[in-house]
Structure 1
Amino acid sequence: MSLIRPEVQELLWRAREVIAAAAVGFVGLWLMALGGYLLFPVGALLVVMSALWALHALRRLRFSQDVEAPGMVEVDEGRVGYLGPTFGGFVAVPDMVELRIITVQGRRLWRLKQNDGQALLIPVASAGSDRLFDAFTSLPGMDTQALVEAASGDAGDGVIWQRRQAATAPRPIGN
């Protein structure tokens, strides 16, 4: 028998990374309070690192969704996959040229487009979709705030990220 209600236990489990960052921050504050030439800078460093960690953890917490859609998301070695009952596939993160969020039949979907034109649709509320945050934030120039807003439903449908086109090839000198 647990002394904590199941819904509170689930909330604490989902926020475990934020709680850990706060604990590290308190250890840093404690070291700073002890003072000295060694402990104060170490404590200050811990406080700064825990603040950055907490910011990232809060964004990841806002990105995660309750599982309501069928299928499962898999992220492995720079490759995003979706295994669903009717469709699925894999996309290599370096091959992505566009990330978009769309709504189809009332469900919000991530649309991952590759450089060859193929697209993979992943329901936002599928199992394991919280793993997509780290894969998407590794994209060059990704705005994490726009990503979190898109996942939480605050933003409408549209393009979240697009790979910049390479500059045109330089012309040879003398021509």
Structure 2
Amino acid sequence: MIRPEATAVIGRFREALVGAGVLVVGVYWGFFTGGGLLHWLGYAVCLIGVALVITGLQQARFRQGSGGPGIVQVIEGRITYFGPLSGGVADIDALSALTLDPSAKPAHWRLDQPGQPPLMIPINAEGSESLFDAFAHLPGIRTEFMLRELERGPAHPVVIWRAGSAQPLGRRLH
């Protein structure tokens, strides 16, 4: 009944669509009801809806499709990749660098850990959308930079995050 292309778009933007629904309910409660508690609750629901739309759009930009080689699982801070030719495990807390490597087809995420060979994960592996939330836990990661590089499709490997790369934003007085 629904075309596969439309289903794919709806699936890619599902979090943003849920956020838009929450935002519509919040706008209705906040601006189109009389006063009272529901009116004030509507403002809070609007803020939640805006936050859901923003994070949903970021997750939609991160998704690069599915059907790629291998399966990715993220469980309690541990990334596991089961591939047809390789695989491995990487703990989020133990990562030293995250690189987007377009030299292979499809492009791969390269996860470096001290004392371990790098874990290479195709950007379109099954379950790779769960990597967005895992990468968000990296201290000092620039999410917008990661999404921009992913969309741009760089010609050479780009370091997205490196441990200890979080720079202070300015000098502190105390």
TM-score range normalised by the length of the shorter chain = 0.7 to 0.9
Q: TM-score, normalised by structure 2?
A: 0.86
Q: TM-score, normalised by structure 1?
A: 0.85
5 Å-filtered alignment, 1:1-175, equals 2=1, 4-32=2-30, 33-156=32-155, 157-164=157-164
Q: Distance in 1 between matches of 2:138 and 2:21?
A: 30
Moved more, 12-21 or 86-95: 12-21
Query: C-alpha deviations, 1:47-102, integer Å up to 9, x for none?
Result: 11110111001000110012253111111110001111111100011111110111
CA contact 1:124–1:151 (8 Å) conserved in 2: no
Bigger Cα Rg: 1
How far residue 112 of structure 1 moved from its aligned partner, in angstroms, is 0.5
Q: CA RMSD in A?
A: 1.9
Q: Distance in 2 between matches of 1:119 and 1:105?
A: 14
CA contact 1:80–1:92 (8 Å) conserved in 2: yes
Consecutive aligned runs of 4 or more in structure 1 exceeding 4 Å deviation: none
Q: Distance in 2 between matches of 1:45 and 1:127?
A: 36
How far residue 154 of structure 1 moved from its aligned partner, in angstroms, is 4.3
CA contact 1:21–1:53 (8 Å) conserved in 2: yes
How far residue 138 of structure 1 moved from its aligned partner, in angstroms, is 0.9
How far residue 148 of structure 1 moved from its aligned partner, in angstroms, is 1.3
Unpaired segments ≥5 residues, structure 2: 166-174
Q: Distance in 2 between matches of 1:139 and 1:42?
A: 33
How far residue 116 of structure 1 moved from its aligned partner, in angstroms, is 2.8
Q: Secondary structure at the match of 1:59?
A: helix
Q: Distance in 1 between matches of 2:13 and 2:104?
A: 31
Q: Secondary structure at the match of 2:59?
A: helix
Q: Distance in 2 between matches of 1:53 and 1:137?
A: 15
Identity across matched positions, percent:
33
Q: Which residue of 2 aligns with 1:169?
A: none
